Amino acid sequence: MLKFPIYLDHNATTPCDPRVVDAMVPYFTNNFGNAASRNHPFGWQAEEAVDYAREQVAKLIGADPKEIIFTSGATEADNLAIKGVYEMYASKGNHVITCNIEHKAVLDTCKHIEKEGGEVTYLKVKDNGLIDLAELEAAIKPTTILIAIMYANNEIGTVMPMKEISAIAKKHGVLVFSDAVQAVGKIPVDVNKDGIDLMAFTAHKMYGPKGVGALYVRRKNPRVKVTAQMDGGGHERGMRSGTLNVPGIVGFGKACELCLTEMEEETARVSKLRDKLQTELLKVEESYLNGDINHKLPHVTNISFKYVEGEGLMMGFNKNIAVSSGSACTSASLEPSYVLKALGLGDDLAHSSLRFGLGRFTTEDQIDYTIAQVTETVNKLREMSPLWEMFKEGIDMNSIEWAHH
Amino acid sequence: MAYSEKVIDHYSNPKNVGTLDKSKTNVGTGLVGAPECGDVMRLQIEVDDSTGLITDAKFKTFGCGSAIASSSLATEWLKGKSVDEAMKIDNMTIVEELNLPPVKIHCSVLAEDAIKAAVNDYRVKNGLPELKFEESVIH
C-alpha cells in the first residue's frame, strides 16, 4: 500500500534516519552537558560524544577530525569559508572566482565581499551545467586567493570536476573551497583525493538533523586558516565560537557513519529508481533533461515539460507527491530559476521544470505512481495549454508578438 | 502557500476549456501574457449578433493554478453577458471570488486583459473602433 504524500524533494531536506534520532536522544536529557565544561563528568561526557562524532564526520570525507569545524549549517559554513579566507588572506589578494549556479549562500556571500572591496569573477557554466576549465584557469590572476565551486548543484544535480579544478588551483597556489552540501553522503567525497582545502556540508541533507553542519578546513599542505565570523568563547579552534549543539553533532556523526557504510548499496538502489523515473518521463513528448546526464548525482533528475508551467503542473499532484520546480511562481520574485537560465534554457523551459530528488526511503511503487501521475497531469494541462495547441498546429511561437507583463 | 478551495475546484474541473473558430466574425479572441513570464491566456467569446449577448466563451491557459482558475472563472462569468457588460469585469472581483493571495493578483489582471482583448478583437472584426484602456495597475 502506498502511503501519501510521497516525498521526492530530498535536495531540499531529508528525514532524520530513526537510527540517528536514537543516537541523539540521550544528549537532550541525561547527557546534557556543555562540551566546553572541562571540570566535571557532564562536560567530559559531552566532549567525548562530540569527539566521536567529529571522527565519524571526518571519516566520511577522508579528513582528520581536527579539520572539522562544526557550524549551525552549510550557510554559516559558506559564509565562514568565503569571508574567513577573504579576511585572513587580505595581504595576498582580494580576488575570488566562483560560478553563476552556486547556491545563494555562496553567491550572496560573494556579493558581500564585493561590497567590502573584494573582486569576484562569476564563471558562466556551459549548457550542461559544468564550468569550462580553460575559462577557470584564464580567470586566475596574481590577486586570486580562492576558487569557490560547488561539488554538486542543488537544482540539476550535476557534479563538477573537482579534481581537475583543484589541480588548476594548486598549479597557481590558489585555495579551493567547495559547497558540497548535495554531494557529501551521496557520492564518494575525499578532500585529499579531490584536493579540496575548505568544504561546507550539512547534516539535514544526509538523514541527520537540521541546524548542524560543518566546515572542513585543511590543516596541512597547505595549512589553511579562516578569520572567525562570530566572536565569543573561542570554540572550534577559535574559528567558530558558540556552545556546541551536542545532540545535533551526535546525530550528524551518526548520519555520516550510516552514509559511509551504506553508500554503495544505497546508490545502486536509488540510481536504478532514478534512471527508471528519468527514462519514463523523458518518453513524454517534448520533455527535456536539464544538466549533463553523465555527471549527475545518483538520486536527482530535473526535467522540463515544454508548454506546461511548473507550478500549475505540481498542483495536479502535490497533495500526493512532493517535488520542486524552477518555475517563477514558486518563488516570491516571479523570476524563474537562475540555475536553469544559466544553462541557456529559455524562460519557457525554465518555467516548465520539475526537480525530483529521491532518497533512502523511496520505493519502486512510489516511482511508478509518480511516473503515472506526472505523465497524466502533463497531458491534461497540455489539453488546456494554448502554447501546446500552437505547437501542434506548427505555429512558430517566436513569430508572435507577446504582451510582456 | 495553500490554494483556496475555489482555485482547486477550477483547476481540477476547469470550465469551458477549448477553442472557438477564430475565423468567424462573431468570435473575438484575446491572447495575453508571454511564455517567458510563465503565463499565457487565450480567451475567446462568441457573440450573438442580433442580441449582442455572449453565447459561448472558451479558454486555454498556460500558467499556474491561479491563472487557470482565473480564466476558467472569467469564461463562466462571460456567458450570457452583453459585450458592454463584459468590459466591466474587474480583476479585483476575480481576486475576491477566488480568494487569490497578493502574489497571484497578476493572474486576475491577465484574465481582465484577456477579456478586453477578446472584446476588442470582436469589435475590430465588426467595424467598431478599438477601445483604449488605462494600463492595469500590476504589470
**List of residues 6+ apart from A249 with CB closer than 8 A:** A49, A50, A53, A54, A70, A212
Q: Which of A227-231, A258-262, A401-405, B26-30 has the lowest mean pLDDT?
A: A401-405
Q: Residue A270 belongs to a domain with what CATH number?
A: 3.90.1150.10
CB-CB under 8 Å, B19 with A312: no
**Domain annotation covers residue A1:** no
Task: Look at residues A195, A178, A93 and name the one whose alpha carbon lies nearest to residue A144.
Answer: A93
pTM here is: 0.93
Q: What is the mean pLDDT of residues A229-244?
A: 95
Q: Convert the pLDDT of each residue in B64-97 to its tens digit.
A: 999 999 999 999 999 999 999 999 999 999 999 9
Q: Answer whether residue A4 shows pLDDT above 60.
A: yes
Query: How far apart, in whole angstroms, are the C-alpha atoms of residue B117 and residue B32?
Result: 8
Considering Cα of B116, then B122, then B128, then B129, what sign does the dihedral take? positive
- B/e letters for A342-372, b = 16+ CB within 10 Å, e = fewer, are bbebbbbbbbbbbbbbbbbebeeebbebbbe
Which residue in chain B is spatially nearest to A313 when comparing CA positions?
Answer: B64
> What is the pLDDT averaged over residues A376-400?
93
Give mean pLDDT, residues A26-43. Answer: 96
Q: Does B42 touch chain A (CB under 8 A)?
A: yes
Residue A335: predicted pLDDT: 75
Q: What is the mean pLDDT of residues A228-251?
A: 96
Closest-CA residue to A362 (of A251, A256, A258, A266): A266
Query: Which of A224, A259, A294 is where one domain is finished?
Result: A259
Grade residue B138 by pLDDT with cuts at 50, 70 and 90: very low
Q: Which residues of A are catalytic?
A: 329
Is residue B30 less than 8 Å (CB to CB) from chain A?
no
Domain boundary among A226, A259, A292: A259
For range B11-37, the mean pLDDT: 94
pLDDT tier, A397 (very low <50, low <70, confident <90, very high otherwise)? confident
Match 559531552 to its residue by C-alpha cell. A46
Query: Do residues A186 and A137 share a domain?
Result: yes
Q: Do residues A270 and A243 share a domain?
A: no
- Bridge-based pairing of strands A144-148 and A175-179 is parallel
Does the beta-carbon distance from A347 to B36 stay under 8 Å?
yes
Let me know whether A200 and A317 are in one domain. no
- Compute the average pLDDT of residues A75-103: 98
Check: CB of residue B79 under 8 Å from CB of residue B39.
no
Nearest by Cα to B46 from B59, B33, B60: B59
Domain extents in chain B: 5-125
Residues A91 and A80: their CA atoms lie apart, in Å, by 18
Cα distances (angstroms) measured from residue A167 to each of A124, A175, A194:
20, 11, 9
B62 → closest Cβ in A309, A336, A403: A309
**pLDDT-derived band of residue A334, with 50, 70 and 90 as boundaries?**
low
Catalytic residue from among B27, B89, B107, B118 = B107
Of B8, B34, B65, the CB nearest to A404: B34
Same domain, A186 and A239: yes
Q: State how far the Cα of A110 lies from the Cα of A290, in Å rounded to an integer.
A: 26
Q: Is B37 designated active site? A: yes
Question: Do the Cβ atoms of A307 and B39 come within 8 Å?
Answer: no
Average pLDDT, chain B: 92
**Claim to verify: residue A22 and residue A89 sit in the same structural domain:** yes
Domain at A105, CATH number: 3.40.640.10
Residues of A175-204 as b/e, b for ≥16 C-beta within 10 angstroms?
Answer: bbbbbbbbbbbbbebebeebbbbbbbbbbb
Q: Do B64 and A307 touch (CB under 8 A)?
A: no
Which class is domain B5-125? alpha beta
Residues of B in contact with A351 (CB under 8 A): 35-36, 38
Share of chain B above pLDDT 90, in %: 83
Whether A392 and A336 share a structural domain: yes
User: What is the C-alpha separation between A48 and A42, in angstroms, rounded?
Assistant: 10
Which residues of chain A have a CB within 8 Å of the CB of B8?
Answer: 315
Nearest residue, CB atoms, B62 vs list A334, A336, A386: A386
For chain A, the average pLDDT equals: 95
CB atoms A404 and B14 under 8 Å: no
Question: What span, in angstroms and rounded, lies between the C-alpha atoms of A119 and A146?
Answer: 11
- As a whole number of angstroms, the distance between CA A28 and CA A33 comes to 9
Residues A246 and A133 in one domain: yes
A270 and A164 together in one domain: no
The cell numbers describing A381, all together, are 494541462
Chain B residues lying within 8 Å of A385, measured CB to CB: 40, 60-62
Q: C-alpha grid cell for residue B52?
A: 449582442
Cβ neighbourhood burial of B71 (10 Å; 0-12, 13-18, 19+): buried
If contacts are CB pairs under 8 Å, which of residues 80-139 in chain B contact chain A?
103, 106, 109-110, 113, 139
- Regarding whether A311 and A187 lie in a shared domain, the answer is no
Domains contained in chain A, number: 2
Helix axes B91-98, B5-12, angle to 10 degrees: 100
Shared domain for A43 and A118, answered yes or no, is yes
Measured in angstroms, the CA of B31 and the nearest CA of chain A are apart by 8
Q: Report chain B residues whose CB lies below 8 A from the CB of A333.
A: none
A373 assigned to some structural domain: yes
Task: Tell me whether residue A56 is in a domain.
Answer: yes
Cβ pairs bridging A and B (under 8 Å): 95
Is cis: bond before A18, omega within 30 of 0?
no
Substitution target in A351, A401, A402, A405 with the highest count of B β-carbons within 10 Å is A405
For an interface test with A, give the residue of B62, B66, B75, B98 to mutate (most A CBs within 10 A): B62
- Residue of B17, B34, B37, B92 marked active site: B37
Residue A405 falls within a domain, yes or no? Answer: no
- Asked which of A259, A293, A309 is the last residue of a domain, the reply is A259
Q: Indicate if A268 and A250 belong to the same structural domain.
A: no
- Are A252 and A274 members of one domain? no
Is A60 inside a domain boundary?
A: yes
- CB contact under 8 Å between B61 and A404, yes or no, is no
Q: What percent of chain A has pLDDT over 70?
A: 98
The alpha helices in B13-90, defined as continuous H runs, are: 65-78, 83-86
Is A157 part of any domain? yes
Residue A179 to residue A216: CA distance in whole angstroms: 10
- CA of B43: which chain A residue's CA is closest? A386
State the residue range of the domain holding A343: 6-11+263-399
DSSP string, A93-161: --EEEEETTS-HHHHHHHHHHHHTT-EEEEEPP-TTS---HHHHHHH--TTEEEEE--SB-TTT-BB--
Is residue A351 scored above 70 in pLDDT? yes
User: Which of B68, B106, B139 is nearest residue A384 as measured by Cβ atoms?
Assistant: B68
Q: Does the pLDDT at position B137 exceed 60?
A: no
- Per-residue pLDDT, A331: 55
**Sequence-distant (≥ 6) Cβ neighbours of residue A36 within 8 angstroms:** A43, A47, A233, A235, A243, A244
